[in-house]
Protein backbone atom coordinates (compact mmCIF):
# COMPACT_ATOMS: atom_id res chain seq x y z
CA UNK A 1 0.00 0.00 0.00
CA UNK A 2 1.32 3.44 -0.94
CA UNK A 3 0.73 6.11 1.67
CA UNK A 4 -0.32 9.43 0.11
CA UNK A 5 0.02 12.80 1.84
CA UNK A 6 -3.08 13.88 3.73
CA UNK A 7 -3.70 16.84 1.37
CA UNK A 8 -3.88 14.51 -1.65
CA UNK A 9 -6.29 12.15 0.13
CA UNK A 10 -8.46 15.15 1.07
CA UNK A 11 -8.42 16.42 -2.54
CA UNK A 12 -9.43 13.01 -3.88
CA UNK A 13 -12.26 12.81 -1.33
CA UNK A 14 -13.55 16.17 -2.63
CA UNK A 15 -13.26 14.97 -6.23
CA UNK A 16 -10.44 17.41 -7.08
CA UNK A 17 -7.75 15.99 -9.40
CA UNK A 18 -4.29 15.93 -7.83
CA UNK A 19 -1.76 18.52 -8.97
CA UNK A 20 1.14 17.24 -11.02
CA UNK A 21 4.70 17.02 -9.89
CA UNK A 22 7.23 19.36 -11.47
CA UNK A 23 8.52 16.49 -13.62
CA UNK A 24 5.16 15.12 -14.78
CA UNK A 25 4.44 15.71 -18.48
CA UNK A 26 1.51 14.84 -20.67
CA UNK A 27 1.92 12.11 -23.29
CA UNK A 28 -0.20 9.95 -25.53
CA UNK A 29 -2.99 10.15 -28.11
CA UNK A 30 -6.33 11.85 -27.48
CA UNK A 31 -9.40 12.11 -29.71
CA UNK A 32 -11.83 15.01 -29.54
CA UNK A 33 -15.53 14.89 -28.80
CA UNK A 34 -16.71 16.52 -32.03
CA UNK A 35 -14.39 18.78 -34.08
CA UNK A 36 -12.68 15.90 -35.94
CA UNK A 37 -9.36 16.22 -34.13
CA UNK A 38 -6.68 13.82 -32.96
CA UNK A 39 -4.16 15.31 -30.53
CA UNK A 40 -0.77 13.77 -29.73
CA UNK A 41 1.44 14.83 -26.79
CA UNK A 42 5.08 13.79 -26.50
CA UNK A 43 6.09 15.80 -23.44
CA UNK A 44 7.38 18.79 -25.40
CA UNK A 45 5.08 19.20 -28.39
CA UNK A 46 1.41 19.03 -29.20
CA UNK A 47 0.57 17.65 -32.65
CA UNK A 48 -2.88 17.92 -34.19
CA UNK A 49 -4.43 15.81 -36.93
CA UNK A 50 -7.58 16.72 -38.85
CA UNK A 51 -9.54 13.50 -39.17
CA UNK A 52 -12.67 12.22 -40.85
CA UNK A 53 -13.84 8.64 -41.16
CA UNK A 54 -11.82 8.42 -44.43
CA UNK A 55 -8.84 10.72 -43.87
CA UNK A 56 -6.14 12.05 -41.57
CA UNK A 57 -4.12 15.20 -42.31
CA UNK A 58 -1.39 16.58 -40.05
CA UNK A 59 -2.21 20.11 -38.91
CA UNK A 60 -0.41 22.82 -36.94
CA UNK A 61 1.62 21.78 -33.96
CA UNK A 62 2.38 23.69 -30.78
CA UNK A 63 5.27 23.74 -28.34
CA UNK A 64 4.96 23.36 -24.59
CA UNK A 65 5.53 26.44 -22.47
CA UNK A 66 6.99 26.48 -18.99
CA UNK A 67 4.24 27.43 -16.56
CA UNK A 68 4.07 28.36 -12.92
CA UNK A 69 0.34 27.63 -12.77
CA UNK A 70 -0.27 25.41 -9.78
CA UNK A 71 -3.39 23.87 -11.27
CA UNK A 72 -3.17 20.65 -13.30
CA UNK A 73 -2.68 22.55 -16.57
CA UNK A 74 -0.20 22.45 -19.41
CA UNK A 75 0.15 25.39 -21.78
CA UNK A 76 1.17 25.30 -25.44
CA UNK A 77 1.82 28.00 -27.99
CA UNK A 78 1.35 28.03 -31.77
CA UNK A 79 1.82 31.44 -33.35
CA UNK A 80 -0.63 33.78 -31.63
CA UNK A 81 -2.68 30.85 -30.34
CA UNK A 82 -2.34 29.79 -26.71
CA UNK A 83 -3.70 26.35 -25.84
CA UNK A 84 -4.35 25.21 -22.29
CA UNK A 85 -4.76 21.55 -21.38
CA UNK A 86 -6.84 21.00 -18.26
CA UNK A 87 -7.14 17.79 -16.27
CA UNK A 88 -10.44 16.34 -15.09
CA UNK A 89 -11.38 13.80 -12.43
CA UNK A 90 -11.24 11.15 -15.17
CA UNK A 91 -7.64 10.19 -16.04
CA UNK A 92 -8.77 9.30 -19.58
CA UNK A 93 -10.41 12.67 -20.26
CA UNK A 94 -8.90 16.12 -20.76
CA UNK A 95 -10.22 19.53 -21.72
CA UNK A 96 -8.42 21.67 -24.33
CA UNK A 97 -9.03 25.41 -24.38
CA UNK A 98 -7.77 27.94 -26.92
CA UNK A 99 -7.63 31.49 -25.57
CA UNK A 100 -10.26 33.68 -27.20
CA UNK A 101 -12.89 30.94 -27.46
CA UNK A 102 -15.98 30.52 -25.31
CA UNK A 103 -15.75 26.75 -24.73
CA UNK A 104 -13.42 23.77 -24.33
CA UNK A 105 -12.81 20.78 -26.58
CA UNK A 106 -13.14 17.52 -24.66
CA UNK A 107 -10.41 14.96 -25.38
CA UNK A 108 -10.65 11.20 -24.77
CA UNK A 109 -7.59 8.99 -24.48
CA UNK A 110 -7.20 6.66 -27.45
CA UNK A 111 -4.71 3.77 -27.79
CA UNK A 112 -3.44 4.26 -31.34
CA UNK A 113 -3.41 6.35 -34.46
CA UNK A 114 -6.17 5.54 -36.96
CA UNK A 115 -5.00 3.61 -40.01
CA UNK A 116 -5.61 6.70 -42.14
CA UNK A 117 -2.87 8.52 -40.19
CA UNK A 118 -0.17 6.02 -41.13
CA UNK A 119 0.43 7.56 -44.57
CA UNK A 120 -0.42 11.00 -46.02
CA UNK A 121 -3.46 11.01 -48.34
CA UNK A 122 -2.64 11.19 -52.06
CA UNK A 123 -2.89 14.57 -53.72
CA UNK A 124 -5.39 13.76 -56.44
CA UNK A 125 -8.55 15.64 -57.50
CA UNK A 126 -10.65 12.66 -56.37
CA UNK A 127 -9.05 12.55 -52.90
CA UNK A 128 -9.27 16.31 -52.40
CA UNK A 129 -12.93 16.23 -53.33
CA UNK A 130 -13.66 13.23 -51.11
CA UNK A 131 -12.09 14.83 -48.01
CA UNK A 132 -13.85 18.15 -48.68
CA UNK A 133 -17.26 16.50 -49.02
CA UNK A 134 -16.73 14.14 -46.07
CA UNK A 135 -15.66 16.95 -43.72
CA UNK A 136 -18.84 18.88 -44.41
CA UNK A 137 -20.90 15.69 -44.16
CA UNK A 138 -19.52 14.93 -40.68
CA UNK A 139 -19.17 18.44 -39.24
CA UNK A 140 -21.67 20.87 -40.79
CA UNK A 141 -24.88 21.15 -38.69
CA UNK A 142 -27.06 23.32 -40.92
CA UNK A 143 -27.94 21.43 -44.10
CA UNK A 144 -31.60 21.12 -43.11
CA UNK A 145 -31.70 24.78 -42.04
CA UNK A 146 -30.51 25.86 -45.50
CA UNK A 147 -32.55 23.18 -47.28
CA UNK A 148 -29.49 21.61 -48.89
CA UNK A 149 -29.29 17.84 -49.49
CA UNK A 150 -25.57 17.14 -49.19
CA UNK A 151 -25.93 13.62 -50.59
CA UNK A 152 -27.65 15.04 -53.66
CA UNK A 153 -24.80 17.55 -54.01
CA UNK A 154 -22.36 14.62 -53.96
CA UNK A 155 -24.38 12.71 -56.53
CA UNK A 156 -24.19 15.73 -58.84
CA UNK A 157 -20.52 16.65 -58.48
CA UNK A 158 -18.51 13.53 -57.61
CA UNK A 159 -18.93 12.02 -61.13
CA UNK A 160 -17.44 15.21 -62.57
CA UNK A 161 -14.14 14.68 -60.71
CA UNK A 162 -11.47 12.73 -62.58
CA UNK A 163 -7.70 12.59 -62.53
CA UNK A 164 -7.80 15.17 -65.35
CA UNK A 165 -9.80 17.73 -63.32
CA UNK A 166 -7.83 20.98 -63.24
CA UNK A 167 -7.33 22.98 -60.02
CA UNK A 168 -9.44 25.79 -61.49
CA UNK A 169 -12.29 23.39 -62.25
CA UNK A 170 -12.05 21.83 -58.77
CA UNK A 171 -12.21 25.24 -57.11
CA UNK A 172 -15.30 26.12 -59.14
CA UNK A 173 -16.98 22.89 -58.04
CA UNK A 174 -16.23 23.65 -54.38
CA UNK A 175 -17.68 27.12 -54.84
CA UNK A 176 -20.86 25.74 -56.38
CA UNK A 177 -21.20 23.25 -53.50
CA UNK A 178 -20.94 25.93 -50.80
CA UNK A 179 -22.73 28.86 -52.41
CA UNK A 180 -26.32 27.61 -51.79
CA UNK A 181 -25.57 27.46 -48.05
CA UNK A 182 -25.23 31.28 -47.96
CA UNK A 183 -23.12 30.82 -44.83
CA UNK A 184 -20.49 33.46 -44.04
CA UNK A 185 -18.45 30.91 -42.09
CA UNK A 186 -17.89 28.73 -45.15
CA UNK A 187 -15.11 29.35 -47.62
CA UNK A 188 -12.09 28.02 -49.46
CA UNK A 189 -8.67 29.48 -50.27
CA UNK A 190 -6.68 28.09 -53.20
CA UNK A 191 -3.34 29.86 -53.47
CA UNK A 192 -2.43 27.55 -56.33
CA UNK A 193 -4.96 29.28 -58.58
CA UNK A 194 -5.04 32.58 -56.63
CA UNK A 195 -8.72 32.16 -55.85
CA UNK A 196 -10.86 32.53 -52.74
CA UNK A 197 -14.55 32.12 -52.00
CA UNK A 198 -16.48 33.33 -48.95
CA UNK A 199 -20.11 32.47 -48.30
CA UNK A 200 -22.64 35.16 -47.42
CA UNK A 201 -26.36 35.47 -46.70
CA UNK A 202 -27.84 37.94 -49.13
CA UNK A 203 -29.76 40.80 -47.53
CA UNK A 204 -31.29 43.88 -49.13
CA UNK A 205 -30.03 46.03 -46.23
CA UNK A 206 -26.37 45.02 -46.67
CA UNK A 207 -24.14 48.02 -47.28
CA UNK A 208 -21.00 48.05 -49.38
CA UNK A 209 -17.77 49.46 -47.95
CA UNK A 210 -18.20 52.83 -49.66
CA UNK A 211 -21.72 53.18 -48.20
CA UNK A 212 -20.43 52.39 -44.72
CA UNK A 213 -17.78 55.09 -45.02
CA UNK A 214 -20.53 57.55 -45.94
CA UNK A 215 -22.66 56.36 -43.03
CA UNK A 216 -19.82 56.70 -40.53
CA UNK A 217 -19.13 60.21 -41.77
CA UNK A 218 -22.81 61.12 -41.27
CA UNK A 219 -22.74 59.86 -37.68
CA UNK A 220 -19.55 61.69 -36.79
CA UNK A 221 -20.48 64.99 -38.42
CA UNK A 222 -24.18 65.20 -37.53
CA UNK A 223 -24.71 63.29 -34.29
CA UNK A 224 -21.52 62.94 -32.24
CA UNK A 225 -20.59 65.97 -30.13
CA UNK A 226 -16.89 66.71 -30.18
CA UNK A 227 -15.95 63.74 -32.37
CA UNK A 228 -15.11 60.16 -31.51
CA UNK A 229 -12.29 59.00 -29.27
CA UNK A 230 -10.46 56.04 -30.79
CA UNK A 231 -9.09 53.03 -28.92
CA UNK A 232 -7.43 49.71 -29.75
CA UNK A 233 -6.27 50.54 -33.28
CA UNK A 234 -9.55 52.41 -33.94
CA UNK A 235 -11.76 49.31 -33.52
CA UNK A 236 -13.34 50.78 -30.38
CA UNK A 237 -14.79 54.28 -30.78
CA UNK A 238 -16.61 56.44 -28.26
CA UNK A 239 -18.41 59.76 -28.17
CA UNK A 240 -21.58 61.47 -26.95
CA UNK A 241 -24.88 61.85 -28.82
CA UNK A 242 -28.05 63.64 -27.79
CA UNK A 243 -27.64 65.61 -24.58
CA UNK A 244 -25.90 63.04 -22.40
CA UNK A 245 -26.04 59.64 -24.11
CA UNK A 246 -22.88 57.61 -24.60
CA UNK A 247 -22.20 56.22 -28.07
CA UNK A 248 -19.93 53.15 -28.26
CA UNK A 249 -19.08 51.78 -31.70
CA UNK A 250 -17.40 48.35 -31.95
CA UNK A 251 -16.15 47.38 -35.41
CA UNK A 252 -14.40 44.12 -34.46
CA UNK A 253 -13.59 41.85 -31.55
CA UNK A 254 -10.04 41.28 -32.81
CA UNK A 255 -7.03 43.23 -34.07
CA UNK A 256 -6.84 45.51 -31.03
CA UNK A 257 -3.05 45.36 -30.69
CA UNK A 258 0.04 44.54 -32.71
CA UNK A 259 1.22 42.08 -30.06
CA UNK A 260 0.26 38.46 -30.57
CA UNK A 261 -2.20 36.76 -28.30
CA UNK A 262 -5.66 37.06 -26.81
CA UNK A 263 -4.36 38.30 -23.44
CA UNK A 264 -2.98 41.44 -25.12
CA UNK A 265 -6.31 42.03 -26.86
CA UNK A 266 -8.13 41.72 -23.53
CA UNK A 267 -5.77 44.14 -21.77
CA UNK A 268 -6.34 46.75 -24.48
CA UNK A 269 -10.11 46.30 -24.25
CA UNK A 270 -10.16 46.54 -20.46
CA UNK A 271 -7.97 49.65 -20.40
CA UNK A 272 -10.19 51.30 -23.03
CA UNK A 273 -13.41 50.42 -21.19
CA UNK A 274 -11.97 51.77 -17.94
CA UNK A 275 -11.43 55.11 -19.67
CA UNK A 276 -14.78 55.11 -21.47
CA UNK A 277 -16.89 54.16 -18.45
CA UNK A 278 -15.09 56.51 -16.07
CA UNK A 279 -17.61 59.19 -17.03
CA UNK A 280 -20.69 56.95 -17.15
CA UNK A 281 -22.21 58.52 -14.03
CA UNK A 282 -23.24 61.48 -16.19
CA UNK A 283 -24.99 59.42 -18.87
CA UNK A 284 -28.74 59.03 -19.19
CA UNK A 285 -28.25 56.09 -21.55
CA UNK A 286 -25.82 54.23 -23.78
CA UNK A 287 -26.01 53.34 -27.48
CA UNK A 288 -23.81 50.45 -28.63
CA UNK A 289 -23.36 50.27 -32.41
CA UNK A 290 -22.32 46.96 -33.97
CA UNK A 291 -24.04 47.46 -37.31
CA UNK A 292 -20.66 47.00 -39.01
CA UNK A 293 -18.81 44.40 -36.94
CA UNK A 294 -16.58 41.74 -38.48
CA UNK A 295 -16.57 39.41 -35.44
CA UNK A 296 -13.56 38.00 -33.61
CA UNK A 297 -13.17 36.57 -30.09
CA UNK A 298 -16.44 35.85 -28.29
CA UNK A 299 -15.05 36.36 -24.74
CA UNK A 300 -14.27 40.00 -25.55
CA UNK A 301 -17.99 40.56 -26.07
CA UNK A 302 -18.68 38.83 -22.74
CA UNK A 303 -16.18 41.21 -21.11
CA UNK A 304 -18.09 44.24 -22.41
CA UNK A 305 -21.41 42.75 -21.28
CA UNK A 306 -19.93 42.25 -17.80
CA UNK A 307 -19.50 46.03 -17.53
CA UNK A 308 -23.24 46.53 -18.12
CA UNK A 309 -24.84 44.37 -15.42
CA UNK A 310 -25.15 44.11 -11.67
CA UNK A 311 -26.38 40.51 -11.71
CA UNK A 312 -24.96 37.30 -13.16
CA UNK A 313 -26.89 35.78 -16.07
CA UNK A 314 -26.46 33.25 -18.88
CA UNK A 315 -25.03 34.64 -22.12
CA UNK A 316 -25.58 31.45 -24.15
CA UNK A 317 -25.03 27.72 -24.35
CA UNK A 318 -22.66 26.26 -26.91
CA UNK A 319 -22.37 22.76 -28.39
CA UNK A 320 -20.61 21.14 -31.34
CA UNK A 321 -21.82 18.56 -33.81
CA UNK A 322 -20.38 15.10 -33.16
CA UNK A 323 -22.35 12.83 -35.50
CA UNK A 324 -20.03 10.55 -37.48
CA UNK A 325 -22.69 8.10 -38.67
CA UNK A 326 -24.21 10.05 -41.57
CA UNK A 327 -27.39 7.99 -41.43
CA UNK A 328 -27.96 8.73 -37.73
CA UNK A 329 -29.96 11.70 -36.40
CA UNK A 330 -27.99 14.87 -35.83
CA UNK A 331 -26.26 14.81 -32.46
CA UNK A 332 -24.25 17.36 -30.48
CA UNK A 333 -21.73 17.41 -27.65
CA UNK A 334 -22.83 18.38 -24.16
CA UNK A 335 -23.76 22.04 -23.85
CA UNK A 336 -21.22 24.38 -22.30
CA UNK A 337 -22.46 27.58 -20.70
CA UNK A 338 -21.02 31.08 -20.94
CA UNK A 339 -22.02 33.49 -18.19
CA UNK A 340 -22.01 37.25 -17.90
CA UNK A 341 -20.59 38.01 -14.46
CA UNK A 342 -20.68 41.58 -13.08
CA UNK A 343 -17.29 43.25 -13.35
CA UNK A 344 -15.80 45.20 -10.45
CA UNK A 345 -14.27 47.62 -12.96
CA UNK A 346 -16.02 50.80 -14.23
CA UNK A 347 -19.24 50.14 -16.15
CA UNK A 348 -22.76 51.36 -16.87
CA UNK A 349 -25.95 49.81 -15.47
CA UNK A 350 -28.57 52.14 -16.93
CA UNK A 351 -30.60 52.04 -20.10
CA UNK A 352 -28.88 50.58 -23.20
CA UNK A 353 -29.84 50.45 -26.88
CA UNK A 354 -28.05 48.15 -29.35
CA UNK A 355 -27.85 48.96 -33.08
CA UNK A 356 -27.27 45.95 -35.36
CA UNK A 357 -28.02 44.51 -38.79
CA UNK A 358 -26.93 42.06 -41.52
CA UNK A 359 -23.33 43.31 -41.39
CA UNK A 360 -23.16 42.32 -37.73
CA UNK A 361 -21.27 39.03 -38.03
CA UNK A 362 -20.06 36.16 -35.83
CA UNK A 363 -18.71 37.48 -32.50
CA UNK A 364 -20.75 40.62 -33.14
CA UNK A 365 -23.78 38.33 -33.05
CA UNK A 366 -22.73 36.37 -29.98
CA UNK A 367 -22.25 39.76 -28.29
CA UNK A 368 -25.86 40.60 -29.18
CA UNK A 369 -26.92 37.24 -27.67
CA UNK A 370 -24.90 38.05 -24.54
CA UNK A 371 -27.01 41.19 -24.04
CA UNK A 372 -30.42 39.51 -24.43
CA UNK A 373 -30.56 38.36 -20.79
CA UNK A 374 -29.48 41.69 -19.36
CA UNK A 375 -31.75 43.63 -16.98
CA UNK A 376 -32.88 46.29 -17.50
CA UNK A 377 -33.58 44.91 -20.93
CA UNK A 378 -31.53 46.18 -23.87
CA UNK A 379 -33.58 47.72 -26.70
CA UNK A 380 -32.32 46.17 -29.95
CA UNK A 381 -32.82 48.37 -33.02
CA UNK A 382 -32.15 47.74 -36.71
CA UNK A 383 -32.32 44.45 -38.64
CA UNK A 384 -31.47 40.78 -38.19
CA UNK A 385 -27.79 39.96 -37.85
CA UNK A 386 -25.97 37.82 -40.45
CA UNK A 387 -26.80 34.48 -38.78
CA UNK A 388 -23.39 32.85 -38.20
CA UNK A 389 -22.19 32.15 -34.65
CA UNK A 390 -19.86 29.14 -34.57
CA UNK A 391 -16.11 29.38 -34.27
CA UNK A 392 -14.69 28.65 -37.70
CA UNK A 393 -13.39 25.09 -38.11
CA UNK A 394 -10.32 25.39 -40.35
CA UNK A 395 -9.31 22.42 -42.49
CA UNK A 396 -6.64 21.52 -45.06
CA UNK A 397 -6.62 19.39 -48.19
CA UNK A 398 -3.77 17.26 -49.59
CA UNK A 399 -3.18 19.88 -52.30
CA UNK A 400 -2.47 22.53 -49.65
CA UNK A 401 -5.77 24.36 -50.03
CA UNK A 402 -7.56 25.57 -46.89
CA UNK A 403 -11.28 25.54 -46.33
CA UNK A 404 -13.54 26.44 -43.43
CA UNK A 405 -16.95 25.68 -42.05
CA UNK A 406 -18.94 26.05 -38.82
CA UNK A 407 -19.61 23.03 -36.60
CA UNK A 408 -21.14 24.60 -33.47
CA UNK A 409 -24.49 26.00 -32.35
CA UNK A 410 -25.12 28.81 -29.86
CA UNK A 411 -28.35 28.55 -27.88
CA UNK A 412 -30.37 30.84 -25.65
CA UNK A 413 -31.41 29.79 -22.15
CA UNK A 414 -34.58 28.42 -23.79
CA UNK A 415 -32.60 26.35 -26.30
CA UNK A 416 -33.26 28.61 -29.30
CA UNK A 417 -30.70 29.12 -32.06
CA UNK A 418 -30.46 32.14 -34.37
CA UNK A 419 -28.32 30.42 -37.01
CA UNK A 420 -29.39 31.32 -40.52
CA UNK A 421 -31.94 33.94 -39.54
CA UNK A 422 -29.73 36.02 -37.24
CA UNK A 423 -30.62 37.69 -33.96
CA UNK A 424 -33.80 39.72 -34.55
CA UNK A 425 -34.32 43.30 -33.32
CA UNK A 426 -37.31 44.32 -31.25
CA UNK A 427 -37.46 47.64 -33.10
CA UNK A 428 -37.07 47.00 -36.83
CA UNK A 429 -35.64 49.89 -38.85
CA UNK A 430 -34.08 49.66 -42.31
CA UNK A 431 -31.24 52.02 -41.49
CA UNK A 432 -29.09 53.83 -44.03
CA UNK A 433 -31.41 53.40 -46.97
CA UNK A 434 -30.52 55.30 -50.11
CA UNK A 435 -32.82 58.07 -48.93
CA UNK A 436 -31.05 58.16 -45.54
CA UNK A 437 -27.64 58.40 -47.17
CA UNK A 438 -28.82 61.17 -49.49
CA UNK A 439 -30.44 63.06 -46.61
CA UNK A 440 -27.41 62.51 -44.34
CA UNK A 441 -29.61 60.85 -41.73
CA UNK A 442 -29.26 57.88 -39.36
CA UNK A 443 -32.83 56.86 -38.55
CA UNK A 444 -31.79 53.98 -36.29
CA UNK A 445 -29.54 56.16 -34.14
CA UNK A 446 -32.26 58.79 -33.92
CA UNK A 447 -34.69 56.12 -32.72
CA UNK A 448 -32.20 54.92 -30.11
CA UNK A 449 -31.69 58.45 -28.74
CA UNK A 450 -35.45 59.00 -28.71
CA UNK A 451 -36.11 55.82 -26.73
CA UNK A 452 -33.28 56.34 -24.28
CA UNK A 453 -34.49 59.85 -23.60
CA UNK A 454 -38.20 58.97 -23.40
CA UNK A 455 -38.26 57.39 -19.96
CA UNK A 456 -37.84 53.90 -18.62
CA UNK A 457 -37.36 51.08 -21.15
CA UNK A 458 -39.55 48.00 -20.82
Lowest pLDDT segment from 199-208, 281-290, 421-430: 199-208
Q: Domain 209-452 classified CATH 3.40.50.1700?
A: no
Cis bond upstream, residue 451 (ω within 30):
no
Q: What is the pTM of this model?
A: 0.91
Q: Which fold has domain 125-198?
A: Transcription Regulator spoIIAA (3.30.750)
pLDDT higher for 212 or 455?
Answer: 212
Among the listed residues 350, 262, 368, 259, the one whose alpha carbon sits nearest the alpha carbon of residue 305: 368
Each domain of the chain, given as residue ranges in start order, spans 26-116, 125-198, 209-452
CA distances from 56 to 119, 133, 134, 258, 396 (A): 9, 14, 12, 34, 10
Predicted confidence (pLDDT) at residue 2 exceeds the cutoff of 50: no
For residues 310 and 356, what is the distance between their CA atoms, to the nearest angstrom? 24
Planar angle of CA 313, 317, 322, nearest 5 degrees:
165
For residues 383 and 424, what is the distance between their CA atoms, to the nearest angstrom? 6
Mean pLDDT of the chain: 91
CA distances from 371 to 245, 375, 388 (A): 18, 9, 17
Angle between helix axes 150-157 and 167-178 (nearest 10 degrees) is 160
Predicted confidence (pLDDT) at residue 25 exceeds the cutoff of 80: no
Predicted confidence (pLDDT) at residue 3 exceeds the cutoff of 50: no
Helix, coil or strand: residue 216: helix
Query: What pLDDT sits at residue 72?
Result: 54
* Interval 309-367: pLDDT, tens: 999 999 999 999 997 777 788 999 999 999 999 999 999 999 999 999 999 999 999 99
Query: What pLDDT sits at residue 415?
Result: 95
Query: What pLDDT sits at residue 13?
Result: 36
Query: What pLDDT sits at residue 23?
Result: 43
φ, ψ at 263 (rounded to 5°): -60, -35
Amino acid sequence: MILLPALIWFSLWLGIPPKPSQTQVLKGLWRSDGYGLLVQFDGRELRRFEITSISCIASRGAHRLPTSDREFIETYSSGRETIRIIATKDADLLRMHSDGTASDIVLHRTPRLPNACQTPPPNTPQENYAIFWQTFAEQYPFFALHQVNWHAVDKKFRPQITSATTPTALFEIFRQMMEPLQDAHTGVEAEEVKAEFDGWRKDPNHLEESDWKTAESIIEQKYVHGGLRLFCKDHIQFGTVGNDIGYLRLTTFYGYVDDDGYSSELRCLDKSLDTIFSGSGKWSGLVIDVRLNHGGDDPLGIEIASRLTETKYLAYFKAARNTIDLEAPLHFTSRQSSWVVPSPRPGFHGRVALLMGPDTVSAGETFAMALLGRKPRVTVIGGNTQGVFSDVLSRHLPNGWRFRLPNEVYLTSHGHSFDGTGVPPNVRIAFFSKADLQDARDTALEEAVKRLGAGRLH
